Amino acid sequence: MKHINEVILVEGRYDKNAVLQVVCGTVIETSGFSIFNEKEKLKLIRRLAGKNGLIILTDSDRAGFFIRGKLKGIFGDLKIKNAYIPDIPGKEKRKKSSSSENKLGVEAMHHDIILNSLKLAGATFSDEKPGITINDKITKTDLYDKGLTGKKDSAKKRRDFMKILDLPERLSTNGFIDVLNALYTKQEFLTLCEKSIYNM
């Protein structure tokens, strides 16, 4: 599976699941329109995208284009790439009825369509240029070794470390690892741990 370098913004968790079946990388949900009220999340997206670039991949209906347009307004100073899915009539399997515009969303797209839409948007992949190898990735084992998971005071230590790194405290452990890998190399992470250990 290819690793995509840019942060990918999608509307919901089913869209995120569909994308992560096609590529590895940082995929963030807007949770529909609610993202516009989440200042911490917008700040984190800006930070991630400032380093890695941003791809917006929304549904091809009115709501999807509204979200895309509003995000472009918010992040207009960043390098934004737009990935588009085709208009395909139909209904997602998990839904009782089709959308008001009778169009399939990202979650229902075939894997080849999602990958092609990302390629057409100009996505860059780790195997196209020198990048991070699997041995350089920050893992749950690294978090455990640094006392950030699996130990008595890990939750507090992790929250304190997130605060030092200016990250939202509500990140899940998996989300935390995704963000760390998007922002830092493994060596940078280890150095940050050593520098921060006295403040945690």
Written as one string, the DSSP assignment of 2-21 is: EEB-SEEEESSHHHHHHHHT
Supply the pLDDT for residue 130. Answer: 45
Torsion, Cα 43 48 50 55, to 10 degrees, reads: -100
Supply the pLDDT for residue 134. Answer: 52
DSSP code of 82? E
Supply the pLDDT for residue 172. Answer: 82
User: What amino acid is encoded at 46 in this protein?
Assistant: R
Supply the pLDDT for residue 131. Answer: 47
3-state DSSP helix/strand/coil % of the chain, to nearest 5: 50, 10, 40
**pTM for the complete prediction?**
0.78
Helix (H, G, I), strand (E, B) or coil at 24: strand
pLDDT in tens, the chain (200 residues): 888 989 999 999 999 999 999 998 899 999 889 899 989 889 999 998 888 899 999 999 999 999 999 999 998 888 899 999 999 888 777 877 777 788 899 999 999 999 999 999 999 987 644 444 555 789 999 999 999 999 888 889 998 998 898 888 778 888 888 889 888 889 999 999 888 754 55
The answer to whether 170 touches 164, Cβ cutoff 8 Å, is: no
Cα torsion angle, 28, 90, 102, 61, sign: positive
The answer to whether 106 touches 15, Cβ cutoff 8 Å, is: yes
DSSP code of 154? H
Count other C-beta atoms under 10 Å from residue 85's C-beta: 22
Distance CA 175, CA 181 (A): 10
With b for 16 or more beta-carbon neighbours within 10 A and e for fewer, the 101-138 pattern comes to: eebbbbbbbeeebbbbbbeebebbbbeeeeeeeeeebb
Look up the CATH number of domain 2-128: 3.40.1360.10
Where are the chain's structural domains?
2-128, 137-199
